[in-house]
Amino acid sequence: RRAGSPVFVNGAQQADAVQRKVADDLQEMRNQRDNSIEWLCAQSLTGTIAYQVEPHENYLITIPRPATHVFNAPVFWDDADPTLPNPEQDAHLVKRIMSENPGLSPTHCLLGTEAADALINLSKRQGFLFDKRRLNDGNITLQTQFEESGAIYLGRAFGIDFWEYSRVLSLPVSNGGGTVNLIRPKYAEFIHVGPAADRRLYFGSIPDMTALQNNAHVAELFVKSWVDEDPSQITYLLHSRPLPWPRRANTWVSVKVVSG
């Protein structure tokens, strides 16, 4: 029985409940796969991806970036003197760096929690305002809330769209457990979003004999199920081997903007 269903049900209602339960389980598995992709993408912004293929090897993948694309703000945004930080100058420096290499401009800035708090505080103390109308996207939004993705649009300033991305993910026990921030709390990640960034999402071959026999080993994901007897139960398996890869590693700049 599902929540809200009648106590006495007929065969059709039972079959429908079973199908819905299976669909819910499969959707949860897909959500876990999507969370893994999101975590891998977030790691790529740090220049290093930790990749584990259970129960086999662990890989540490380094994305070589120019040294100029990772730096500390000349004055941290949480400085005791609120007149000293200059986020506009910091953004201009990022624009200059990306203009020289790779010849692009930052379109979005993803802020960790501490960086977002510091910038919001500066906007009030220094008097600069965020334009929240999002005219580039065709939307006029005067008030913004956290989206389902966990991001909230702060507004447009200095020609860049600023977002706070405070989502955290729970790591499996095999990876040490606990929670992890997708965007480093003290950092601002200035990113060029567009085809010129040439970001790809690759998928490795599925190492499953059933998938191989059915010519389904080259796919984004593979799902199968089987029945165990005594006690009788059905088991589902979803297998996917994603790897996001920025083919141009100089299309974003990481700036530490909060002290500590």
Q: Is pLDDT at 231 greater than 90 in this prediction?
A: no
Alpha carbons 179 and 176: distance in angstroms, whole number: 9
Bond preceding residue 231 cis, omega within 30 of 0: yes
What's the mean pLDDT when you consider all of the chain? 87
Alpha carbons 178 and 195: distance in angstroms, whole number: 35
In the predicted model, what is the mean pLDDT of residues 10-37? 85
Q: What's the pLDDT band for 160 if we cut at 50, 70, 90?
A: very high
Q: Is pLDDT at 199 greater than 80 in this prediction?
A: yes
In the predicted model, what is the mean pLDDT of residues 226-250? 90
Q: Is pLDDT at 143 greater than 70 in this prediction?
A: no
Q: What's the pLDDT band for 111 if we cut at 50, 70, 90?
A: very high
Q: Is pLDDT at 136 greater than 70 in this prediction?
A: no
pTM above 0.75, yes or no: yes
Q: Is pLDDT at 13 greater than 90 in this prediction?
A: no
Contact at 8 Å (CB) between 105 and 161? Answer: no
Q: Is pLDDT at 204 greater than 80 in this prediction?
A: yes
Give the pLDDT confidence score for residue 195 in this predicted structure: 92
209 versus 129: the higher-pLDDT residue is 209
Q: Is pLDDT at 147 greater than 80 in this prediction?
A: no
Q: Is pLDDT at 211 greater than 70 in this prediction?
A: yes
3-12, 108-117, 208-217 — which is least confidently predicted? Answer: 3-12
Residue 258 burial class via C-beta count within 10 angstroms: exposed 0-12, middle 13-18, buried 19 and up: buried
Give the pLDDT confidence score for residue 144 in this predicted structure: 63
Strand pairing report for 168-170 and 179-181:
antiparallel
122-136, 177-191, 200-214 — which is least confidently predicted? Answer: 122-136
Residues with Cβ within 8 Å of 100's Cβ and at least 6 positions away in sequence, in order, are none
Contact at 8 Å (CB) between 243 and 202? Answer: yes
3-state secondary structure of 255: strand
Q: Phi-psi category of 210—alpha, beta or left, where left has phi over 0 and alpha has psi -120 to 50?
A: alpha
What's the token pair of residue 32?
């876990």
In the predicted model, what is the mean pLDDT of residues 88-101? 96
Q: How many CB atoms lie within 10 A of CB 58?
A: 10
The 10s digit of each residue's pLDDT in 173-182 is 666 678 889 9
The 10s digit of each residue's pLDDT in 47-82 is 999 877 766 678 889 999 999 999 999 999 999 998
Nearest to 45 by CA among 24, 70, 78: 70
> How is residue 135 annotated by DSSP?
G
258 versus 64: the higher-pLDDT residue is 258
Nearest to 26 by CA among 257, 221, 250, 167: 221
Alpha carbons 73 and 10: distance in angstroms, whole number: 66
Contact at 8 Å (CB) between 13 and 6? Answer: yes
Nearest to 156 by CA among 126, 194, 119, 112: 119
